[in-house]
Structures are given as structure tokens and as C-alpha cells.
Structure 1
Amino acid sequence: MADVPPSGQVKDVSSVSSFISAVIFNSAVALAFYTAFIVLRRRFPLVYAPRTFLVPAKNRSPPLERWYSWLTLHSRSDDEVIINRIGPDNWAVIFYMRQLFRVFLFIALVGVIILFPTYITGNAGNPGLNKMTIGNVGDDQTARLWGTLFLTWAFIAVVLYIIFKLLNKAAELRHKFLLSPENRASLSGYTLVVRDIPRSLRDPVVLRKLLERIQPNKVLDVILTRDVRELKKLHTKHVGDRDSLEKASTTYIKTVCVNFAKHIASLKKDGQSVDLEDGGVHAIPPEIYNMRPTHKKMMIYGEKVDSISEYIREMRELETQLKEKRSVAYTGSDKFESAAFIIFSDLFAPHVAALANIHGTPGVMDDKQACVDPNDVIWDNLQMPFYQRQIRGLIALLVCVGLVIFWGIITAFLAGIASLDQLTKTFPFLGFFNDLPASVKGIIQGILPTVLVAILFSLLPMILRFLSKFAGEMTNTAVEKTLINQYYGFLVFNVLLIVTISGSVFQAIQTIIDNPPKVFEILARSIPGVSTFFVNYVILLALSGPAGELLQIANLILKPLKLRFLASTPRAIWRQSQPLVYSSGVPMASHSFIATVGVTYMTIAPLVSIMCLMYFGFWYIAYSYQMQYVYTTKNQTGGLYLYAAAKQLFVALYIHELVIAGLFLLKTAWIQAALAFLALAITIAFNRYANMFGKLMVSVPAKAAVDESSNRHLTINTDVAKELTSNQAWREEVEGTNTIHGKESRANLVDSENEAWADHNTVSERDLDKDTPAEKNARTNSSEDTEKYEGPDDHEKQFLHPALRPDPLTVWIPSDSLQVHQKIKEEVESGCEAKVIWEGAVIDLTGKITVTTDVIARGTEP
């Protein structure tokens, strides 16, 4: 993450000797990190290569045999193979680094050949590294600025080319993802989410007829969300009790195994033995078998109870309450909330419906999204009213703007109170620090403010994510995409603009208020002078960032500790063993910001471009390894983050064009300034054209769907139904609609491209008269219907809040050679509805629990 530097660091950085010293020191640290990574990579595959064995077989990367193989991954891998293996989002990060590396390779080479000689031989007399900037061109040397102007246009053209290459690739990835076999094998690929449904339309039958007007004969089911306010707390406690039961049961099995091993050792010492094959669990002495875990009901006081029995009792009571609450939620239209999942019969239909105007009132049923994964949904936000989201969004925006503007003040305040003198005055009990030697106090004083500010920085993404959720974002993907833009804006304002203008947020704001046009003049005067700071800033990040990313010091230390002390059950081991999930928000925004710095200075201080070349080169190598061998993605978006990052490069062009035009004006190069403003106008035109890609990122174009249908069937057929995560109930329903799923219909789809969209390949009119499962559920208001109703079917469960899903919980315990796990299974399943399993989990007589990698690699928690 790119930290905001203290304003004092901006001064006195133009010395060549200090620059060389900084490069040597940071290079030594980076070299040490890379060496440690090479040594540790093979020894700790759980940290450095989990994708070779802890993901499904089709997603695994081949092990690297040689110690240097990771250095050449970027040049010897096929893109399509990598996309299929790691997913479009992880590959998009590699692609983004590759394109930025290439653009800065061109800019740096041309800058070294043309701009360096032009600026170094200037007569302005700038010292140190400032001799390599446009500021070293004297006022009587304006003819030299024609070369600067020519390269400005050339570099802008190259950056625009890269932007549109990124946008086209993002759209291509998005469409391939939406039409991919994985998406066609998932119900979410056929689903549209609609929010802000008025009460008069909260009926599955009414909604179905309404959506049929948009996509005739293609609506298979309508699933309205339900009120779960009373259920959520019960469900959370139910899951918590399940986890506690697993922990207590595993502790009991471990206690019995360990103590029995000691008992065996004692018998062997006395010359006796025990045959477990004959005795089994009966061979365990009663005093060991009865060593069951206990706890106090009220945490630290109250009656001591048997933990296993108590958690079983609590689960049984909660199951009864949950059944009653779910029955009420399932029946009665008054329990319907303002959001619904609409399931269509083909893959293209939800995208068409997402673009339609359903209701005549602004804000009503206007928020629609196709292909939403239920696991990506923020359920508490799904039914948040439209006007509440507007108010919350405004509050979140104001807080976000306040954070951006006043961040420098906040960090300065924290750094101030973090001084030892201030702390000992505020907190007298810390007075012993005054007795420490001066050298020790100096070290603490130097580290403490930095650590405190670093902690605050680590909290910023969490704060921004919280604000997005507070504002009512529907999915975690939307939260992460918002974070990319917010964090990028934060860096541009606090690092680039504030540092450049004055180093003081108050002075900058006052200048903007007093004379807004003067801001660009100030930027033009200041940017060449502070370019050497950004040279040091970027090279520091280029050397330390990728090396730290590869070494993963925190993960290397914490993962073994978590497995050792926090993973006391098979489920906890499963969770702690999962590969790291790559969250795009912060890193993508940081990389876009460095690209913005490089583009801003590309003809002003070409040395910055060389540092950016190193930055993106090192990150390209690092991400080529990390994405293939370390990171997974929780929810694939198919290029949405790449699209957001590409659009941010327009901001970089705007800043560069305004600054270079201001520099030309300062040097009275009027024609060059006019041509620079012309470049700005052209960039605005290209930006407006680029905005059209926004629609392509939302929905699949008809042309792409037609092209795909010539090779694959976009309607749900029997083969796809068998692959769906929902099983028998869904398969029986869709197989019954033979006009969609029959072999004859599929043959017709192949025969003619036009017939692929004909009515005989969709639900027939007579099928509209049949009630779907959700409609049947909506009509169970009578006591007679309620008695017959058995809850949602398998496919409907996927689109219900987790608290509404009636499936019994799974208690996962390890199996043991003493068969204690069998006794626990009998006790649990006779006492509540939970199902006990020990799939892939074994505990030995030493108490060590192992979980097979096949179970961990499945990616689905048992």
C-alpha cells in the first residue's frame, strides 16, 4: 500500500548522493527478501505454493522444479491456460502490470534518448536530480519545448492506446465469464436480482407476469426475499453452538486418545498389553472415558455443565425455535421483503431484463443486476429501502471526503501524541520511560509515531469498506469496486496534489478557495521541484513492495501459529489452511496511483518514468508468481476491477495535460500551451467514448450471446442441470419442461442460429399456468396448505438468506482408532437434528489432528 509521506520528507531529496544511498540501502533490503523467498519457497508450500495442492485439480498450478523458475513465469505461460486455471480476475492483475510495464518501457527509453539531453544541458542551473527536469530549461530556451510537446502528444497517444486495450480486454473477460461453462452450470448465471419492489408487487405470481412482459415465456421461478430479522440472531447462535459442540467433541476425543496412550504406555511398562481390535472403546478405562469437557453456563460463574450435552440441548432448542420462525417466514405474503431473485430459462434473458424499465416511478425496481452469486450478496443490505440508501450514501460520501481532506491532520495529531514526552504527561504510569537510556528512548521515539500511523493506514481500507456497506451496496464485489475508486482518490489528493502544492492541506484548500485557476499555476511551478521526491518514493515502493509481497512475512509467521493454537477442530484447520484471497481494492488503486505519478511526470521529469518502469517490472514478475501459486479469488467478476483501474488512467492524463500546459504558459510558449490544451480536449473526447464500455461491463451484448450459442446452448438443459449445485428437486422441475431440455430442442438449436431464440426453445404458454415452487409457497396461507408445506426446494434454498435455509447443520469431528467418534455421533444425532461427519479428518493417539488435502482443496466447507 502506498503510504502518505510526511511533508518534511519532500524537502532536501534532490541530492544525487542521498538518492544513490537510498537506492543502495533499499536494494540491499529487497535482495535479502528475495533471497529469503528463494530459500523458504520450497520449505513452506502451505504459504508459498498452496495453489499446487489446496485447490481443485483443474485449478492447480504445476510445481516449479528449479529455484529460479518463478522469475520466468511471465514469459513462458499461455494466457488462456492461465485464465482457465486461476480465473479472469487474478489474470487481469497480471495483464494490468504487463501493459503498464510496456507503456513505461516505451516512455522511459524515449525519455532517456531525447529528454535527458534536452533538460540536462539547460541553463536554468538547477542542482542535483532537478537538472533532469523541465525546470532546468531556461526562459530563453523555449525552442527546446517543441521536443517536449511532440513527446507529450506521442506519450498521450500511447497511454490512450493502452487504456483502450485494457478496456477491451476487460469487456472480453466479462463476456467470456458471463457465458462461461462455469456460469452456465450455476443457477446464478440465469438469475436477475431486483430491489425496491413496492408492496403491491411483492407476489411471485404478479412479478412473474410482469417479467414475462419483458422476456416472454422465459421466467422459470420468482423467489422473493423474506423478513429474517427475528431469525438472524437465532441462526448465528445456532452456528456458534455447532462450532462450540465441534470444539468440545474434538477436545473430548483428544483427551481420551492422549490419556489412553499414556495408559497403554503404563501397561507396557508393567509388561501388559491391550488389544483394541477385541476391546475397542470398551478397552478404555472408565476414568478416561468419563473425562468429558465441562464449562460454566454463564462464562465465569454459574453451574458447571457437561459441554457436549449442553451444546446439544441448546442446538435442539434453537432448532425448534428456528422451525417455528421459518414456518412463519415461509408462509404469508406479509413476510415478503422488497427484493427478489428471478430465474430465467436461458443465460441471455436476465441481461435483457436488467436493462428494462420495469416501473414508472423513479427509484422503484430500478436497481437490477444479472448474474449475482448468492455467496457474494450482503443480505442485510438487499432489502434496504431506496431512500434510506440515498441518505446513507450521502453520509458515507461526506465521511469519505472528510477522511480524504483531513487525513494529514489526523496523522499529524497521532504522531504528535505518540511522542514519549506527550505520552508520559498524559499517562503518568508510563513515567518509567523517562528512566531509560537516551539511546533506547531515541529508538522508541523514532519507531512509535511511524508504527501508529502505519496502524491507522491499515484501518483506512476497513473504514472505506464499512462506509460502502453502510451506504447499502448489494454485493461484496460492489464494495471492492467502490474501494478502488475511493482509495485511488485518497492517494491522488493526499500524496500527489497536497505534497505538490504546499505540503499543507490547509494552505492547499485556502489556495483553491481564493483563486481556483491559480491551482494549475502552482502545480506547474511545484511539480518539477518535487519530482525528485517522487523518484525516491517510487523507487522505494518498487524495491520493497514486490519483495515483501513474495516473502509474505506476516503470513509466514501467523499461518503456522494459527494452525498451532487456533485450529483445534477439523473445521478450524480447514479454514486456516485455505489459500489467501486476493482483494483487489487497495492494491489495484495503489498501482493505478503509481501509474498516475509516472504519467504526470512522463515529459516533465523522465527519471520518474524509469522508476515506474522498475516498479511495474518487479510487480509483473511478483504477480505472475503470486496469482498462479498463492492467491485465490472469492467471487469472480470477469474483469470489473480491471475496468475500474483502466478508467483511472484518464485522471493521470488530465493532470499531466493541465500541468504541462501550465508549464508552457509559465515559459511563455503560447503555441505549445495551446496544443497541450488541444490534447486535453481530445482526451476528454476519448474519455466520453470510453464511458460507453460501462454498459458492456453490465450485461452481455446480444451479438456475443448469439456467437456463443452457435457453439454452446444457452438454455438450461439436462446436462447442465446435472451439474447444478442444487440437485434433485431442480432437476426434476427443469426436466419436466421438455420444450427446453429435450434432445430434439437442442438439435434444433444447432440447426439454425435464428431458431436458437425461437419460442419453441423457451417455456410454452401452458407452462405459465403451472405454479412454480415459489408461487406455491406464496399461497400457503391456509392452515391446510401450511401442514403440507415442507419448506423451500433445493434450488430455492440457494437464494434465501442463510438463516432461512432449513438444512440441518453438519458437525465435523475427527475419527479416532478408539471409536469415540462413533459414540459422539450417536449422542449428537439422537439429541438434535445435526449430522455428524468425520470426512478426511483423523486424530491419532498423540492428539494430532490431520485433514486430508483433498477435503481442503474442494473449496466448499463441509
Structure 2
Amino acid sequence: MESFVPSTSHPLIPRATPSQTGSHRQQGSSLSALLSTLVPVIVVASIAFLIFLLFQKRFDRVYGPRTYLTVLDQEERSPKQSAGFLGWTKEFTGVADEFVLGHSSLDNYLFLRLFKILVVVCFVGCIITWPVLFPVNATGGGGQSGLDILSFANVQNSTRYYAHCLVAWVFLGFVMFVISRESLFFAYLRQAYFLSPFITSQISAKTVLFVDVPKDYRNEDHLRRSFQDVRHVWLVNDPEDLQDLVEERDQAADKLEGAEVKMITQYVKSRNKKGDRGVPEEDRHQNGHAPGIYIDPNDRPTHRLKPLIGKKVDTIQWSREELQRLIPEVAQKQSEQRQKKGKMTSAAFIEFTTVRAAQAAFQQVAHQTPFLLTPKEIGMKPDMVLWKNLGKSWWQVKLFSALCTAFITFLCVFWTIPVAFIGVLTNVNYLTNQLPWLGFIDNIPKSILGVITGLLPTILLSVLMTLVPIICALLAKQFEPTLSAVQLKTQSWYFAFQVIQVFLVTTFSSGAASVVTQIVQNPISAPQLLAKNLPNASNFYISYFVLFGLMTAALQLLSVVPLLMTVILGRILDKTPRKMYNRYVSLAGIGWGSFYPKYTNLGVIALAYSCIAPLVLGFATVGFGLLYLAFRYNVLFTLGTQVDTKGRAYARALQQLTIGIYLAEVCLIGLFAIGSSGSGSSVGPLILMIIFAVGTVIWHWQLRSAMSKHVTSLPSDLLAEEYRGSDDEEKSYPNGRSHNNPKKVDSGSSSGDDYQVPRSADPPTPPGGFIGTLKSFLLPSRFASAAVISKHILSPHLANSVRPYTQQEREDAYLHPALTAETPIIWLARDNYGLSKQEVHACQREVGKGMEVSDEDAWIDEKGKVQWNERELRKAPIYEEEVRY
């Protein structure tokens, strides 16, 4: 479920006289819409969950790949799922979230933590708001009915606004504390995580990307003179036409592999149909004279060089000739550019001897001229780099960024039209009061009308919103240097879009639609009418949080797309051993730029309605709880990490939650202001709320100022005693100072008593029990410091360094992929007739040096289908050990 409709409202408008057109509809349609939406969602969610339980053990690749894939290190695998529902439940609940931190990624762990924090905030919000606001609202005398009597709209006497104001002070103050506490916890967590031996022993931890390098600095000697403790320098080449040649070579190899496998498969099928157990005599020749298996030219795969009108050629022969030409040409150009004979771009990667030196270089001003020799990122892995953007100058990046931001702003405005229409659709029955030609709506059965006003808008907006994060990511890829930066930019844009379009526009349009008759009859009363009816727009969220949580949880567990790819599409599309292997070993990841904004916006909605419709908080607690359980299962058993933001997406989401605080304050200030126009008794709450809003701005500014550096940098006091696990790093310090650190963890240590962040004294053990948990929550500086997290929370797996790099791996780490890309191995499937062996020799003979062909660990079965050895992944010809840069 990609998106949601956040503001389908079913407000109850003031009673109309019997003579009004459509007055029988003015009871509202909340009940019919709720039931019509609830029933199908519960049915679909229940079916999805039952299918999950049935398929969970049958399709291990879909529902538990992390438990057995041998391409993952043993330390990275999730616990093996026990058979049966009870066994699975025990395994699922018995694993702590910290397992994800040590065996998956920091991003995955923090994504789960966001849901836990939202559950805590909403649950505590219920405890704070319900005992006070429910009685105040229910006895407010505003003439509302149903669930609306529990909202602000039912309060007639403005003196009661003091209750809403004081509750807002307490609850929103608690939310501000939680955001501050979590920001501090995140800072401590990333310090402990990124100073663990597992991370600091990686090349990326000590590598900084510099952009806009001046021309006279584009040589290794000059850069070494500009920085201290430099270990390696990679100047980024402009591959010019080399990139195109590499792509042509790889495409030709892919065509050759596909054509060879297709030909072998068809030959085996034809022989099996005839019942032949061996190769017939008429097939034991090739080209009329050489011994071997002869394939009729009509049975050989062909393709056109241009679609429809191009010349038809033999695919195998054409691909061999292309590879014979391209392989030596690519190798020659790679050799030339590796010797720095090619054109250099204005970017460079510099590896330093220590993390401390890298952090110092990342934080310093490197050049006397602004915007030149700018440290752009630290800790990025080579496969996260967008190489085509590294050569863009600072003014090009700023121009692209400004234009793309302007386009997203325009998109927000443009999208208002269809989204507002959907918002009006949720209350279309109210329009019959003023537009008689819509009177046929009154004759529609309530169950069908409930679907039109409840379920249909959800589907329409979901489809409409699917394109938005895709557009945002495509735009960000035009100027951002890394994939992580793309995700963060997408997160910022998409969140703004979510708040404006998915929340505010549809909420106000829906609220306006519900009172359109009264506004037309008395335009002066529009502010008061909207103020009274907008709180009622929370009716949709009261059901939506549970419905969205239930539906999303069920679909996340069911993993519809992976299931379809495994059961149906994968078997149709994957015809070669390579495609089967790649699909089997690849773990899906979460797109942080599109996922975080959706759920952060749900938190914003809960906070915005917390004091004017507190019932929303209870349903939000249930909804976030369901989402947490679903994503927890996926993170533990099915998901990998495709893009690493180093937890910055979580930090940004925390800051974005403050929008919910501001919206709640603005809404209350507006409601108090409208109330004060008719009675002076609401002036007091209005002034108090304005004071609190000013305090919120000051708090937010101070928090951002204090935490800005901690999101991207590591503190010097911890770096001063940086862990060093390799001889090379120790040699960089005179007199072996690293040996003087009594808290240094041995690189082979996996003891839970050791920790990686040195401190002068042992950190305290986090207290247990409810009181202990409360103390840890309230005092993060003492019980959640970097040292405490490092010793008591981080996995022992993180106390081990990565394996030593080979010299070649070090030299190739941050070279442009076009310079290091090797010719793909052609992986064929073996057959019983010997055709695959014949093709292996033919390819090697005709293509020549540089081509490797194999038919090991894949075969054609009796039915003529390609099979491969899933149990021994490391034996596959195309298997390569992952290098942890």
C-alpha cells in the first residue's frame, strides 16, 4: 500500500431545517463510510495474513532468506525460523531489536525505532489527554453527536479552552522532550556504532569525498600537501567513451549468454521429445566437416540490429564477434586511464590513516576560496557514488537544486487540484444541499455511497501519490553525489509534499465541502463554521490509523511482489542461471526517501489532532503498533540494505515530527482566536498558547543548532582515543601510542564485556525493570551514552574488524567502475548431449583471450528447464566475495 488518504472526513454540520434540500443526509455518512471501509480491509488483511502463515515455511526465499543464505556471513544471518506458527512466534518475539543493529544495518534498526517512539508518544498522549479532554469535550454542549462529542467542535463555552491549552502544554512539551531525547540518543548511538572496530576498519570510514577541486590541485602530490595523514588518493577520471564501450561489451556478453542457454535448452527439448538418449549421427558434425553437434541455422537464436527494420543476424555469432572486438579495446583504454592519462574531473576521494584525521579533514575549511575543495561526504561506500554527478561544478549543483526544488513546489500546487477533488469526493453527499442536479446521490444505497466516500478516495489518492517519490528521486539523481544524498533529498521533498497535499489540502477541502451550504447562505460565518468542522475531519483518522496499519502490516508480511516474482514472474522471466542466481541472492531494501515521509506524516497527523480530537491518539497507537510488528518481521528475516544513510534519515524524521507540534499549536491558536472574537474568556488560553508557540520555536532552533554537527561528525574526545586494530594504523602513531589505551578492544574479541568507545571509567549498566527503563529514558546522558551503548547494546560482531584488504582491492576502491569493470563470465547450463561443452570451447576459441565461459553448477533437467545449485552458492562461476569497503 504505497500511500494513503489522510483526510477523508465525515463531519457533522449544524442541524438544518426540514425544508432544506437533502436534509436527510445531514446526519453525516461517517458510520456507513467507516463500515464500508472497515469490512473489506479486515477481510483482505485476514486473507493476506492466512496466506502468509500457509506460505511462510513453503517459500523460505520469500519469507526468510536471511536465515539461510550462505552468501551472508554467519554473523549477519537472522535466527533460523522454527517450524509452525507457534515456533515462528516464539522466534519472532524472542529476538531483540538490537540484533538488527549488529547484523543488518543502522538504518534498519532506527526505522524500527521510529515506530516504537511513535507508539510511546501516542500512548502517553492518551494517558495525558483522555482523562481531561474527554469529559470537557463530551459535556461541552456544542450539539455534536457520535464520536464528534469527544472533539473540540463540541465545546461551546470558551472558558473550557483553558483545559485544551494546559493539556497542550503538557503533552506537546512531552513530545518535545522525546524528540530532544531521541536526538541525543541518536548522536550517542552513531558515535558508538561508527567507532566500533567493524566500521573503523573499513576504508570508507576514513575516506572523504572532495568536490570542486581546483585544476592545480588535481594531482596526488598537491592534495597530500594540503592534508595531513593521507594514505591514498583517488582522482576521479572522466571515462569519456570508455563507459559506453563497457556497456556495449556487457550487453554483448548478456546477449551471448542468453542466446547460448536458449539454444541449448531448445536442443535438449527437441531431443527429449524424440526420445533420443544420445546424439544422432546426423548431428555429429559441424559445418559439414568438424566432429560435433550440428545446429540447423533456422534453430539458432537471431535478432535485428535495429528494431523492426534492422538486419537480422545470428545472435551467437554476432555477440562473439562483438566481444572479440570490444574486450581488448576496453582493456587498453582501462589501462591508459588507470595510468591517469585520461581527463580528470573536479572530484577526489582521499583516504586518511585514521578516522580522526578523516573527521578533521571533513570539518575543516580546505581552500581559501569559498565553494572550492569542498568536503562533501564522509564514509560513503563506492557503490553508493553517482559518478556522473561528481564532475558538476558548485554552481551547476546549486542551479539544479534550485530548479528541482522549484519544480517540486510547483508540483505541490499543481497536485492540489486532483487531491482537492478527492477531498470533495469524500463529502460529496453534502453538496446535494446546494446543487439539486446532484440529487441522484441521495438515492444511492448507503453501503455503495460509503464505498464512494470512503474506500474509493483511498485507492485514487494511493495511485496518484505513487508517482511523486519516483519523480523526486529522479530529480535528485541529477545533481546529488551519492545515493544516500538522493534518499535524503527525496525524503525532504516528499515529506513536504505529504504534509501539504496528503494532509492539509485534503483536510481543508474536505472540511469546506461539509459546510458548503452554510457558507453559501452566510459567507461571514465561514471562519467559525470551518473552525467547528475541521476538528470533525479527524473522524477519518480515527478509523484510518487502524485500517492503514492493519492493511499495511498484512501486505508487508505477505510480501506480495517477492511472492509473485518467486512463484510466477521469476519462473517466466529468468531463463539463464545468472538471472536465477541474482534474484536468489539479492535482498530487497527499503527506499528511505519514500518510506520515512509516509509514516512521519502519520505522526504529524496524530500530533496535529492530539488536542482537538484526542481519540485519534488511541487509534494511532494501535496503527503504529501494527506497523512496527510487520516491519520488525521483514527487517529480521527478509530485508537487506540497499542504500546506507548512516541513520541520517531517522534524524531528519525526528526533526520533521516537529511540524506536527507547530500544526497543533497553530490550530489551537486559530480556534482560540475565533473563540475570542465572540467572547473574551478565550483570550487567556490564546495568550498562553502563543507564548508556548514562541517557546517551541526557541527550543527547535536550539536543538537544531546543538545537534547539527552530531548528525554528520564524530566528537574529538572519543576520536582522541580511537580504536586501532591494524598494524598500519598503529605505525602511523609514533611510539605506539595506541598500546597505551587500556580499553582497546582486540580485533578478534567478541566478548560482551569489551566495548569499543574508550572512557576513563567503566560505563554504568542500564538499570532493569520499569523504574530502570524510565530512568534510562529520562537520563540518556548517563544510561544511554556512547560508552553504555557500545558495551551493552552493540553486537559483539561489531567488535571484530573486517578482513584485511588486498593491495588490488585498496587501489581499486574508489576508481570509476568503468576502469575496473571486468568482462562478465559467460555462465551456461550443462546438458547430457555435450552441446554446452561444445559451446564453451567455441566461445573461448572464437572470442580469444579475456573471455571466460563455464557450464559448472547449472544444468538442463529432464523437462528442459534450467536448474542450478542453490545449496552451494559460492561454487557458482559468477560468485564474488563481497568486499566491505
Which residue is equivalent to 2:642? Answer: 634
User: Is it true that 1:697 corresponds to 2:685 in the alignment?
Assistant: no
Alpha-carbon offset, residue 32 of structure 1: 2.6
CA apart distance, 1:86:
2.0
SS in 1 for 2:708: helix
Residue in 2 aligned with 1:125?
143
Instruction: Give the whole-Å Cα distance in 2 for the aligned partners of 1:232 and 1:13.
Output: 63
From 828, 831, 841, give the equivalent of 2:843.
Answer: 828
2:254 partner amino acid: D
Deviations 1:29-66 (A, max 9, x none): 32232222222222222222222223513222221333
Offset at 1:191?
A: 1.0
Q: What is the identity, as a one-letter code, of the residue corresponding to 1:27?
A: I
Name the structure 1 match of 2:319: 311
CA drift at 1:550? 1.6
Counterpart for residue 233 of structure 2: 222
Select the residue among 182, 190, 200 that pairs with 1:166. Answer: 182
Q: Would the aligned equivalents of 1:496 and 1:597 in 2 still touch at CA under 8 Å? A: yes
Partners in 2 of 1:352 and 1:829 — Cα distance?
52
Residue 660, structure 1, aligned to residue 668, structure 2: yes
Measured in 2, the distance between the counterparts of 1:147 and 1:484 equals 36
Aligned mates of 1:13, 1:477 — CA distance in 2? 46
3-state DSSP class of the match of 1:341?
strand
Contact 1:194–1:341 (8 Å) recurs in 2: yes
> What is aligned with 1:36?
51
In 1, Cα distance between the equivalents of 2:349 and 2:527?
A: 50
Q: Where do 1:219-618 residues align within 5 Å?
A: 219-262=230-273, 265-266=275-276, 286=294, 292-298=300-306, 300=308, 304-331=312-339, 335-410=343-418, 454-470=462-478, 472-503=479-510, 524-577=531-584, 578-618=586-626
- The 10-residue stretch of structure 1 (15-24 or 457-466) with the greater mean CA deviation from structure 2: 15-24
Checking the alignment, whether the CA contact within 8 Å between 1:260 and 1:288 is kept in structure 2 is: no
Amino acid of the residue matched to residue 65 of structure 2? Answer: P
* Aligned position for 2:124: 106
My pick for the range that moved more, 407-416 or 178-187, is: 407-416
Residues 574 and 851 in structure 1, CA contact (< 8 A), matched pair in contact too: no
Provide the rounded CA distance (Å) in 2 between the counterparts of 1:689 and 1:520: 35
Q: TM-score with structure 2 length normalisation?
A: 0.77
Matched residue SS, 1:220: strand
Give the match for residue 164 of structure 2: 148
Q: For residues 412-464 of structure 1, what are the alpha-carbon distances to aligned partners after superposition, in whole Å with 9 as ceiling and x for unaligned?
A: 79999xxxxxxxxxxxxxxxxxxxxxxxxx9x999999877644422211101
Report the Cα distance in structure 2 between the residues aligned to 1:445 and 1:532, rounded to whole angstroms.
Answer: 16
2:368 is paired with a residue whose SS is coil
1:672 aligned residue: 685
User: What SS does the corresponding residue of 2:374 show, helix, strand or coil?
Assistant: coil
Give the whole-Å Cα distance in 2 for the aligned partners of 1:818 and 1:123.
88
**CA drift at 1:609:** 0.8
Asked if 1 retains the 8 angstrom alpha-carbon contact of 2:840 and 2:855, the reply is no
Deviation at 1:148, TM superposition (A): 2.4
Distance in 1, matches of 2:852 and 2:328, equals 16
Q: Give distance in 1, aligned partners of 2:694 and 2:294.
A: 86
Kept in 2, the 8 Å contact 1:574–1:861? The answer is no
- CA deviation profile, 1:720-759 (whole Å, cap 9, x unmatched): xxxxxxxxxxxxxx6xx99349xx976x512247999xxx
CA separation of 1:180 and 1:256: change in aligned 2, threshold 3 A: farther
The aligned runs of 1:773-852 (5 Å cut-off) are: 793-805=808-820, 807-830=822-845, 831-832=847-848, 833-838=850-855, 840-846=857-863, 847-852=865-870
> Does the 8 A contact of 2:600 with 2:653 survive in 1?
yes
CA drift of 1:133 comes to 0.4
Counterpart among 113, 123, 137 of residue 95 in structure 1: 113
Distance 1:200 1:739, change over 3 A: same
Q: CA shift at 1:599, angstroms?
A: 0.6
CA distance in 2, matches of 1:641, 1:246: 40
5+ unaligned residues in a row in structure 1: which ranges? Answer: 277-281, 417-441, 508-517, 719-733, 757-791
Task: Give the % identical residues.
Answer: 25
Contact 1:580-1:631 at 8 Å conserved across structures? yes
Q: Distance in 1 between matches of 2:483 and 2:552?
A: 26
1-structure distance, mates of 2:310, 2:115:
59
- Deviation digits for residues 319-378 of structure 1 (CA, Å, limit 9, x no counterpart): 233244335534556711100010111222212101110112221122421111110011
Whichever residue aligns with residue 605 of structure 1, its letter is A
**Distance in structure 1 (CA, Å) of the matches to 2:374 and 2:660:** 33
Size of the alignment, in residue pairs? Answer: 750
Tell me how far apart the structure 2 counterparts of residues 379 and 107 of structure 1 sit (CA, whole Å): 47
C-alpha distance in 2, partners of 1:519/1:484? 36
Give the Å deviation of 1:567.
0.9
Q: Secondary structure at the match of 1:348?
A: helix
Q: Give the counterpart letter for 1:849 in structure 2.
A: Q
Instruction: Kindly indicate whether the alpha-carbon contact (under 8 Å) linking 1:171 and 1:697 is maintained by their aligned counterparts in 2.
Output: yes
Q: CA deviation at 1:9?
A: 7.3
Q: Give TM-score, length-normalised by structure 1.
A: 0.79
Deviation per CA, 1:376-412, whole angstroms, max 9, x where unpaired?
Answer: 0111111111111111111101110011121032567
* Distance (Å, rounded) in 2 between the aligned partners of 1:24 and 1:506: 26
1:93 CA displacement: 1.4
- C-alpha distance 637-559 of structure 1, shift in aligned 2 (>3 A): same
1:859–1:608 distance in 2 versus 1, CA, 3 Å: farther
Residue in 2 aligned with 1:739? 731
Distance 1:126 1:207, change over 3 A: same
1:503–1:688 distance in 2 versus 1, CA, 3 Å: same
Correspondence list, 1:171-190, <5 A: 171-190=187-206
Higher mean C-alpha deviation, range 352-361 or range 553-562: 553-562
Q: Which amino acid aligns with 1:555?
A: P
Letter of the structure 2 residue corresponding to residue 804 of structure 1: L
User: Quick one: distance in 2 between partners of 1:23 and 1:208?
Assistant: 65
Distance 1:852 1:307, change over 3 A: same
1:844 partner amino acid: D
Residue 67 to residue 794, structure 1, CA distance change in 2 (3 Å): closer
Q: Which residue does the alignment assign to 1:750?
A: 739
